[in-house]
Chains A and B, each alone.
Chain A
Amino acid sequence: MKDFVLRRVVALLLPFIQMFGIYVIMHGHTSPGGAFAGGMVVGLGVIGFSTVFGIEQGKTKMPEHVTTITESYGTLWYILMGLVGIFKGLPFLANKLAVDVGVPGELTSGGLIGLIGVGVGIRVASTMVTLFFTMMEEEA
């Protein structure tokens, strides 16, 4: 789209959209939302960018080989975090027993859940983007 105002506004808003998405991902255990919702927002930022600046431009920001890696390894991260418990001699996915979860209400109080959330967020964001690109390719 060639519209100057639209391009400017999206370019200005994009960092804030992404920042908000990351905020929601990181605060999944202390406030409403979480990794899925936050990942969605991050993905929607990229989708908004691609609709305004064109699919080609969007694909240079998130090429297919990158989304393949983030999608797979985002989920792999979940299993790896589960293994932390086993390395500490505790059951799979142990959290409170395995690591220091800190003071309730603080950012770090989720223990491994915060870290798992980062993986899930990355995965959801790249899945959203892949879905969008796939659908647009079929349209064209």
Chain B
Amino acid sequence: MTAVIKTHLPVFVVAAPLFVSFLLSPMARRFGWVQSLVVGVQGLGLLLAVYLAGMILKSSGVPIIYSMGGWPAPWGIELWTGSLGAFFLLVVAGVTLPISLYAVNNLSDEVGDATRSTRFFVLYLLLAGVLAGMALTNDLFNIFVLVEVATISCCGLVSARRGPNAAKAAFNYLILATLGSGLILGGIGLVYMITGNLNMGFAGIALNGVWQDYPHVVWMAMSFFLVGFGVKAALFPLHVWLPDAHSTAPTPASAILSGLAVKGYIICLVKILFGVFEVHLLDVFRLDQILVLLGMLAILAGSILALAQGELKRRLAFSTVAQVGYIVLGFGLMNIKGVAGTLFYLASHAVIKSTLFLAAGALISATGKTHVKDFAGVGRKMPITMGVFSIASLGLVGIPLFSGFVGKWYLLLGSLEVGNLTAAGVIGIGSVLCAIYLFPIIRTAYFEPAPEDDWQDPGVPQRLALVMLGIAVIGLGVLPGPLLQLAQKAAADLLIIP
């Protein structure tokens, strides 16, 4: 039995959340079962992901290749569990579990009755399964399908809250994301046209031989992928949909959208850029410099825009735009330190941003206020929520011993290694700006007198979720060991350095 599970592990990791999500919607009347099933399958997913990552780490990065239906690679579809896949899978499983725990018994205010909440969980699990699929897939057309399913479930999650604002935000997102999907499909079509393969490994090999005959097609395909995934991942000039969508969504949805969904698209982009075009072509077409430039722009613009926001959730949403900049910048550095740092930063931002959004949601639902200046004295009344919020803020700024520091440190080392002082400077300025837009909230919460209000920490599952995430922020900062090792292996795989 264990041997069977071990061989089919990659399939189970992707199929289990999907299986449960299709099981849920007729069960709306037994809402207790729905919730326990969701949390249960996420817990199982985390166990499987940890095991898979351990296997990859132990075999020092030898990928586990699973051919669907028994058809080998160029004809069939592969699930490729390399170090990058295992890494992202671990991040997805580790963050979705606390978020689903937070949603337990907590959706009625924001989403509605049991039927609507069940539908929310269906979309949530669909997104979790699709993100796991994005981590493991090795097929260009599969990426397109996964991106589409993710987009549709994201739109559903954004519009889960009733009201005109949510509908408008979801509609904006739908239009822009559809544009992005179109561009991605165009890029896949161009790659298929000149390589005749949809499997990324085989497409990469074929492209290596023919790219000199079709330089314009390659250039166009690259730009299609960059813009298409850029829209979906909210890369700076294309981020316009994100603040509305992420700030109007219900709390758990904001957390998964900002923490994970955006990164899923980045992982897909990276898989295509480094897996199909490979480092050599990125170098020839100067894509590394474009990525660094876009990243720097996003860091500065996102941070400054975040400073201008008065509403807490909007401020956090703009902060996501800035953090996407760090991640994109790191991939543009194209050295082990930079790419490993950016992968670790991706993981730590997934944890931190979901913590911040969950804590912000708890603050907002307890106090009924949304503006950053309204949370005076919350620190005394809601010690757990605000404590975790402060830990996550410190992590996002990049204070040593918190998880953001490790990622930013490696990013700095990476940019100094390529001699890009501007990038290093921008990383530093971004951290300072981040402190400027987050620390005043903490100051107001702890050092200003509370109005006479009966504010309380949220219920037990929510507290548990917040504490789990808070521990993860500190844990990744103090002992980055295994995850950083996995990130370094993934970076070496992406850059094709043995």
Contacts and interface: CB of A to CB of B under 8 A. Distances in A.
A79 B24 contact: no
Contacts of A73: 22, 26
Interface stretch (A29-37, A41-49, A83-91): A83-91
Contact of A92 (B18, B25, B68): B68
Interface string B1-19: 0001000100100010011
A63 B238 CA distance: 43
Given A91-B66, A91-B69, A93-B69, A71 B25 contact: yes
B22 A91 contact: no
A93 B77 CA distance: 11
Interface in A67-110: 68-69, 71-73, 75-76, 79, 82, 85-86, 89-97
A45 B61 CA distance: 54
A79 B19 contact: yes
A91 B4 CA distance: 10
Contact of A91 (B15, B23, B68): B68
Contact of A75 (B4, B22, B67, B69): B22
A80 to B, nearest CB: 9
A73 to B, nearest CB: 7
B116 to A, nearest CB: 13
Contact of B26 (A65, A90, A91): A65
Given A76-B19, A79-B18, A82-B15, A95 B69 contact: yes
A95 B15 CA distance: 18
Interface residues of B, number: 16
A86 B10 CA distance: 13
A85 B70 contact: yes
Given A91-B68, A92-B15, A76 B22 contact: yes
B26 A86 contact: no
B68 A72 contact: no
Nearest to A95: B69
A89 B24 CA distance: 28
Contact of A79 (B22, B25, B26): B22
A91 B18 contact: no
Contacts of B22: 72-73, 75-76, 79
Contacts of A82: 11, 15
B25 A72 contact: yes
Interface in A108-136: none
A96 B70 CA distance: 9
B25 A76 contact: no
A77 to B, nearest CB: 9
A41 to B, nearest CB: 24
A72 B27 CA distance: 10
A65 to B, nearest CB: 7
A95 to B, nearest CB: 6
Contact of B23 (A71, A76, A86): A76
Nearest to A87: B4
Nearest to A64: B115
Nearest to B28: A68
User: Which of A73, A79, A91, A96 gathers most chain B CB within 10 Å?
Assistant: A91
Contacts of B19: 76, 79
Given A91-B67, A95-B69, A68 B25 contact: yes
Nearest to B16: A79
Nearest to B27: A72
A92 B11 contact: yes
B25 A86 contact: no
A36 to B, nearest CB: 14
A68 B114 CA distance: 14
B226 to A, nearest CB: 32
A28 to B, nearest CB: 17
The 8 tightest CB contacts between A and B, nearest first, are A93-B69, A92-B11, A76-B22, A94-B70, A69-B26, A75-B22, A91-B70, A72-B25
22 contacts: A68-B26, A69-B26, A71-B25, A72-B22, A72-B23, A72-B24, A73-B22, A76-B22, A82-B15, A85-B69, A86-B11, A90-B70, A91-B66, A91-B69, A91-B70, A92-B11, A92-B15, A92-B66, A92-B68, A94-B70, A96-B70, A97-B70
Interface of A: 65, 68-69, 71-73, 75-76, 79, 82, 85-86, 89-97
